[in-house]
C-alpha cells in the first residue's frame, strides 16, 4: 500500500474498532452482522487491509453509521473543504480507474459526493444499499453503461440520471475511452441522528 492508502486503512480501522466498542459488539458479532469474515474484520481494524467499497458499506450498515463516518475525520465545523486530490480513494480499478469520496455530510442524513473514473473495460457492481437510498449521476466525459435491477442505460457526456440505490446496480465502461462522472448518494436514516439511536440498540 502507498502512504495515502495506508493512512486511510489505519483511519478506517480505528473508526470501525471504536464504533464496534461503542456498541459492545465482539469481533464475531460484528463480522456476522456485516456478513464479512472474522479474518477480514481483524485485518480492517488493524489497518492491514484496504477494504472494498462493498465491505465498507456492509460494515457501516451493520454499525448504523454512514460510510463517510468511517473514512473521514469528524468535524464540528459548519463547512468542510476537501482540496483537489485530497479525497478518499475507496475504489481502484484494474486499469487505473478510481472512485473518490470528495465530500460528505452526516446531518441529519448521509449525503455523499463522489468522483468516479472508469477506464476502458472496467466495471463495478454494487449490492443494494439501505432502504430509500437515492443516487444522482452526471457524466462529464466518455460513455458509461449503468444497470439498475434488470434495466440497462447508456449515458454519454452531459447526460444525467437518478435512480434508487436500494436495488442491485452496476457501472461498466465498454467503450475505448475513459468515462468520468460525478455521483451523489443520499442514504436516509444513516446520519448523525440515527447513529445516536443505534448506539442504544
Residue 130 domain-assigned (yes or no): yes
DSSP state of 78: S
Cell numbers given for 110 = 448521509
Instruction: With cut-offs at 50, 70 and 90, classify the pLDDT of residue 199.
Output: very low
Q: 155 and 102 in one domain?
A: yes
Residue 198 domain-assigned (yes or no): no
Contacts 24+ apart (CB under 8 A), 156-159: none
> How many independent structural domains does the chain possess?
2
Q: 24 and 53 in one domain?
A: yes
Q: 153 and 68 in one domain?
A: no
Which pLDDT belongs to residue 84?
Answer: 83
Which residues neighbour 40 within 8 Å (Cβ) at sequence distance 6 or greater? 31, 49, 51, 55
Q: Which residue has the cell 434495466?
A: 151
Q: How far apart are CA 150 and CA 186, in angstroms?
A: 22
Residue 60 domain-assigned (yes or no): yes
Look over the chain and give the mean of its residue pLDDT values, rounded to a whole number. Answer: 85
Which residues neighbour 15 within 8 Å (Cβ) at sequence distance 6 or greater? 69, 70, 71
User: Does position 7 have pLDDT exceeding 90, yes or no?
Assistant: no
Instruction: With cut-offs at 50, 70 and 90, classify the pLDDT of residue 1.
Output: low
- Determine contact, residues 95/105, Cβ cutoff 8 Å: no
Which pLDDT belongs to residue 111?
Answer: 86
SS3 (DSSP) at 7? helix
Domain boundary among 74, 101, 127: 74
DSSP state of 148: E
Parent domain of 7: 3-74
Which pLDDT belongs to residue 106?
Answer: 67
Q: 55 and 7 in one domain?
A: yes
Other CB atoms closer than 10 Å to residue 180's CB: what's the count?
19
Which pLDDT belongs to residue 73?
Answer: 61
User: Does position 112 have pLDDT exceeding 60, yes or no?
Assistant: yes
Count of residues for the chain?
A: 201
Q: How far apart are CA 172 and CA 164, in angstroms?
A: 18
Condensed to tens digits (0 to 9), the pLDDT of residues 9-51 reads 888 898 899 888 888 899 999 999 999 999 999 999 998 887 8
Amino acid at each position: 500500500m502507498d502512504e495515502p492508502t495506508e493512512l486511510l486503512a489505519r483511519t478506517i480501522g480505528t473508526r470501525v474498532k471504536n464504533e464496534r466498542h461503542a456498541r459492545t459488539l465482539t469481533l464475531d458479532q460484528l463480522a456476522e452482522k456485516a456478513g464479512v469474515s472474522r479474518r477480514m474484520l481483524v485485518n480492517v481494524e488493524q489497518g492491514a487491509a484496504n477494504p472494498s467499497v462493498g465491505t465498507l458499506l456492509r460494515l457501516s450498515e451493520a454499525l448504523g453509521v454512514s460510510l463517510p463516518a468511517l473514512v473521514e475525520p469528524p468535524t464540528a465545523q459548519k463547512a468542510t473543504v476537501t482540496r483537489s486530490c485530497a479525497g478518499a480513494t475507496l475504489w481502484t480499478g484494474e486499469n487505473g480507474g478510481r472512485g473518490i469520496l470528495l465530500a460528505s455530510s452526516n446531518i441529519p442524513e448521509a449525503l455523499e459526493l463522489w468522483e468516479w473514473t472508469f477506464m476502458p473495460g472496467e466495471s463495478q457492481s454494487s449490492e443494494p444499499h439501505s432502504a430509500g437510498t437515492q443516487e444522482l449521476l452526471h457524466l462529464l466525459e466518455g460513455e458509461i453503461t449503468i444497470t439498475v435491477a434488470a434495466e440497462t442505460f447508456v449515458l454519454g457526456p452531459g447526460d444525467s440520471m437518478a435512480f434508487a440505490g436500494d436495488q442491485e446496480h452496476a457501472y461498466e465502461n465498454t467503450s475505448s475511452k475513459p468515462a468520468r462522472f460525478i455521483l451523489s448518494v443520499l442514504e436516509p436514516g444513516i446520519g448523525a441522528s440515527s447513529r445516536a439511536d443505534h448506539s442504544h440498540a
